[in-house]
């Protein structure tokens, strides 16, 4: 039996989202990380939740940046990214507006009255958000897949949504038929005549509840544009740097990588699914990214570390690696970053 789940061949009788052939990361019922680690079980979750060690967060942690008003379009090889919050980033280049893991809701939760609550408002008001062409949803955890936001964007902009296998069953009823395209690891899709989207592996997992673990795929994305390549990871464990080295070998130089570096404590529980700041810096080096937009910190309290601890740890890791802090930008809501054209 392949690592990662139940025996193959049970199909949709056991998987509510996806029915497809067995592969090196799908056993017929559940997806898994090749040569990787499964998510922790319920007993380990309880051990973490009741084990103490959580640093208190403020109820509000305002960004130093005012709400951004992005340009309508960014043309040519200019590349501008704007932080909305957590893993929601507006990417503008080659005349396209691309939005990652959009969450405008107050909570990253299935419940409107409970669960992780924002400590700062979105860095771009929906009214100021330019027309979105492409939405990338990396996986189905609630801090990355927000049905209310996707429904609003789909109705407002008629945007196209790209997501890994199985997530269309979740997104489709909210976004409408014909808007959602699913991709498997290694797949590619043209966005325009000169911009191509690639779906690539990352080390994570998926679930919307207690009974659907790993029934939909998770992924990273690489966007190939005339101005350079953009690598976006919503969530990942470091996984010995395997996927970072693979992305460099396959795609070559990367102008910008959007890398998560928060939500990582305690390490015994989070290590397989969330890299820490030091590992994010190692990932930057292994992937060969010239610049990094750091995300997945300072908006939703998901784990044990304090709200500003990821930034301090990131700066220490960059200094130890001899990498200028201006190359790895820990973005705050409303912050805009025009990525230099020249590589480092």
The residue with tokens 């949504």 is: 161
In this structure, are residues 253 and 290 in contact, taking their beta carbons and an 8 Å threshold? yes
Task: Please report, for the domain that includes residue 304, its CATH number.
Answer: 3.60.15.10
Q: Is residue 115 part of a domain?
A: yes
In three-state secondary structure terms, 2 is coil
Q: Is residue 177 part of a domain?
A: yes
- Rounded Cα gap, residues 344 and 214, in angstroms: 38
Global pTM reads: 0.94
Q: Is residue 211 part of a domain?
A: yes
Q: Is residue 343 part of a domain?
A: no
Residue 289 CA to chain centroid, in angstroms? 17
Q: Is residue 185 part of a domain?
A: yes
- Rounded Cα gap, residues 276 and 262, in angstroms: 6
For residue 230, give the H/E element and its range.
strand 228-233
Residue 60 CB: number of other CB atoms within 10 A? 9
Q: Is residue 260 part of a domain?
A: yes
Beta bridge partners of 93: 79, 96
- Rounded Cα gap, residues 11 and 50, in angstroms: 36
| Pure H helices in 2-72 | 42-49
Q: Is residue 112 part of a domain?
A: yes
Q: What's the number of domains the chain is made of?
A: 1
- Rounded Cα gap, residues 277 and 309, in angstroms: 10
What domain range is 280 assigned to?
A: 11-338
pLDDT tens for the chain, 344 residues long, are: 233 333 333 444 589 999 999 999 999 999 999 999 988 888 998 899 888 889 999 999 999 999 999 999 999 999 999 999 999 999 999 999 999 999 999 999 999 899 999 999 999 999 999 999 999 999 999 999 999 999 999 999 999 999 999 999 999 999 987 799 999 999 999 999 999 999 999 999 999 998 999 999 999 999 999 999 999 999 999 999 999 999 999 999 999 999 999 999 999 999 999 999 999 999 999 999 999 999 999 999 999 999 999 999 999 999 999 999 999 999 999 999 999 986 55
In three-state secondary structure terms, 244 is helix
Q: Look up residue 76 and give its two tokens.
A: 């040519």
Q: Is residue 4 part of a domain?
A: no
């Amino acid at each position: 039996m392949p690592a990662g789940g139940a025996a193959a061949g049970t199909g949709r009788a056991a998987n509510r989202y996806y029915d497809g052939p067995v592969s090196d990361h799908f056993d017929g019922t559940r997806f898994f990380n090749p040569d990787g680690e499964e998510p922790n079980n319920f007993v380990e979750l309880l051990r973490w939740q009741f084990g103490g060690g959580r640093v208190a967060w403020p109820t509000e942690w305002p960004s130093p940046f005012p709400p951004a008003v992005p340009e309508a379009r960014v043309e040519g090889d200019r590349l501008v990214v704007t932080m909305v919050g957590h893993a929601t980033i507006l990417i503008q280049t080659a005349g396209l507006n691309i939005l990652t893991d959009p969450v405008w809701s107050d909570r990253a939760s299935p419940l409107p009255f409970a669960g992780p609550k924002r400590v700062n408002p979105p860095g771009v008001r929906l009214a100021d958000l330019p027309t979105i062409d492409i939405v990338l949803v990396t996986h189905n955890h609630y801090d990355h897949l927000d049905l209310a936001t996707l429904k609003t964007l789909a109705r407002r902009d008629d945007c196209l949504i790209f997501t890994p296998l199985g997530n269309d069953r979740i997104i489709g009823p909210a976004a409408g038929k014909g808007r959602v395209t699913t991709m498997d690891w290694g797949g590619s899709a043209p966005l325009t005549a000169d911009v191509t989207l690639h779906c690539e592996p990352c080390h994570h997992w998926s679930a919307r509840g207690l009974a659907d673990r790993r029934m939909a795929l998770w992924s990273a994305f690489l966007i190939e544009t005339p101005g350079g390549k953009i690598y976006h990871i919503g969530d990942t464990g470091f996984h010995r740097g395997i996927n970072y080295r693979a992305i460099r070998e396959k795609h070559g130089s990367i102008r910008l990588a959007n890398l998560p570096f928060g939500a990582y404590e305690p390490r015994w529980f989070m290590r397989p699914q969330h890299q820490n700041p030091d590992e994010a810096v190692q990932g930057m080096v292994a992937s060969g990214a010239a610049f990094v937009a750091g995300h997945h910190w300072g908006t939703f309290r998901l784990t044990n570390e304090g709200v500003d601890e990821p930034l301090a740890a990131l700066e220490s890791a960059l200094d130890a690696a001899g990498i200028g802090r201006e190359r790895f930008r820990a973005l705050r809501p409303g912050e805009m970053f025009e990525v230099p054209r020249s590589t480092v």
